[in-house]
Amino acid sequence: MPRIALPVPYGCTVTGIDGKAVGALVERARREVDSGLLPAAQLALALEGEIVVSEALGGCTTDTRFHTYSAVKPTVALTAMELAADGLFDKFAPVSYVLPSFGANGKKAITVSQVMLHAAGFPYAPLGRTETTDRAARLAAYASWRTDWEPGTRFEYHALSAHWVLADIVTEVTGRPYAD
């Protein structure tokens, strides 16, 4: 594929990037922010490990962090799987080996893989706003959770709880905030 030059300010000359399409995407996002549909937007495009487009529109900067809710779940799951493959934890071991407070209230034997498979038994475990922004509060919340059924005996989507547990496993084994 021939190398193309992205229009200023859309980055450097790279192979495989359609500068015109990138410009159209940025302009579309700008229209949505300018119209009030979105309060802010960030766009980033990376190719072969290099960020080639980085834009911040509206009330944010390129360093502003957003709650991305379910959109981040695949990233958290993939990161956890890669860390397990690298030997940082055993996905078949109990979560409580990595997050000791999690094991309270009969959850000591729940495995990381049961959490990943939505078979851990706590699909409606409560997490409020404080817990989603404060790791210590979140770890304390895990200790208070109880299971609704015997872990591993059935599947039910754990809409909020499972991926926070995985995010905290990522934080614990890497020593870095999951958002990094």
Domain boundaries, the chain: 3-58, 69-174
Q: Which residue has the higher pLDDT, 35 or 50?
A: 35
Q: Which two tokens stand for residue 82?
A: 């890669």
Cβ-contact 109, 149 below 8 angstroms: no
Global pTM exceeds 0.95: no
Cβ-contact 143, 137 below 8 angstroms: no
Q: How confident is the model over 11-24, as a mean pLDDT?
A: 70
Please count the CA atoms within 13 angstroms of the CA of 148 that sit on its side-chain side: 14
Residue 106: what residue type?
G
- Mind listing the pLDDT tens digit for each residue in 100-133? 999 999 999 999 999 999 999 999 999 888 888 8
Q: Which residue has the higher pLDDT, 125 or 4?
A: 125
Separation between Cα atoms, residue 124 and residue 43, nearest integer Å: 33
Q: Is 165 helix (H, G, I), strand (E, B) or coil?
A: helix
Residue 5 reports pLDDT greater than 70: no
